[in-house]
Amino acid sequence: MRKFLEPFTLKNGATLKNRIMLAPMTNFSSDEKGNSTPEEIEYYRVRSQGVGTVITAVANVIEGGKGFPGEIGIFNDEQIPSLKKLADTIKAEGAKAIIQIFHAGRMAPPNLLPDNQPTSASAVAPEREGAVTPRELTGEEVDEIVQAFGDATRRAIEAGFDGVEIHGANTYLIQQFFSPHSNRRTDKWGGDVNERMSFPLAVIDSVNEAAKHADEEFIVGYRLSPEERENPGITMEDTLQFVNTLKKQDLDYLHISVQDFFAGSMRDESDTRSRVQLIQDEVGSEIPVVGVGSLHTPDDVEKAMEGGTPLIALGRELIVEPEWIQKVEQNRESEIRVDLSVDDRETLVVPQPLWDAIINTPGWFPVREHANK
């Protein structure tokens, strides 16, 4: 039997039926109020049938933290019935339901925000074309956002989710506070590498305070990106210090966000060691690490796990092949799809907004012109 089909028990006692997670991926398919549409619900239902855990797309904890059109909302209590429907759908298929919570910070498109003004740790624009300079958050606003993560966790609990994943990766607000590029603050939220951990740690504390009202198997995970390209930016040395602090928090796993599990440094081409493996080697004996990134086949996943990484998230792979796990279980590995055609949307149960993004973003997915005859 493939190792990734074995169950895994987290330190809080929650048992995942296998080691494969659906990676959190934006699908642009909630309505304007942040409620899940039938199309989005069905997309998750189909992909919850094989994996041990589903981590949803990001959900914004305040209205001013929205990062994508069609994003799940978790910023007011009116969204709880929709969130409950999403959680119930995932759990009914046998998977753990984890909702990813975040604030986009300076990466938020102005047209999605109530006041058209992105905010961040400091008034420093991201290094990308057409970037908007954010407004620096006041100390009071920072406190409110920390509280908003706790409030979002309460809503997740009331909706019946099995856990939350704190999104501290992919250049969004929590990462912006950790980054020396985006955080130039001189108050308690800024400074050296240890002081820049203050906001992420405050968010974790806020989430865990809310999680005291859930049962003890409620899962709290944390996602991080190991490095940034910017100078100054997050280095691997910074991240190894950070994960040694994170392992001491009340967290159930660390999810390492990279495009390719086996890829080396984005800052130093001569450093070809896997970022995920470096973190696994550093703290994996003390906190479970989730690996991700371009692991298309069962053999790819097994190879990634050889270094001790116990959990693997699959993203694009489970869009291209919703039955990835079932085909492994049924000895049909040769039938696992590794690409898709422009005609496959309904077969693969992909919401139209996500499908449009897949088809119109060259290089993101392996796309053929037509289905195999």
Angle between helices 198-211 and 236-246 (to 10 degrees): 30
Q: CA-CA distance, 234 to 365, in Å (whole number)? A: 28
Whole-angstrom Cα distance, residue 197 to residue 202?
Answer: 9
Q: Where are the beta strands (DSSP E) in the chain?
A: 8-9, 15-16, 20-22, 53-60, 72-73, 96-102, 119-120, 135-136, 163-168, 219-224, 253-256, 289-292, 311-314, 340-341, 367-368
Amino acid letter, residue 347: T
CA separation for the pair 324, 353 (Å, rounded): 23
CA atoms within 13 Å, Cβ hemisphere of 278: 23
Dihedral (CA of 112, 114, 120, 126) sign: positive
Residue 43 a catalytic site member: no
Task: Choose the catalytic residue: 43, 172, 222, 253.
Answer: 172
Alpha-carbon torsion angle 267, 55, 322, 107, nearest 10: -50
**For 169, how many CA atoms within 13 A lie in the half-sphere containing its CB?**
22
Do 313 and 290 contact (CB within 8 A), yes or no? Answer: yes
Six-digit token pair at 12? 């809080």
Q: Is 224 in contact with 239 (CB distance < 8 Å)?
A: yes
Tell me which residues are annotated as active site: 172
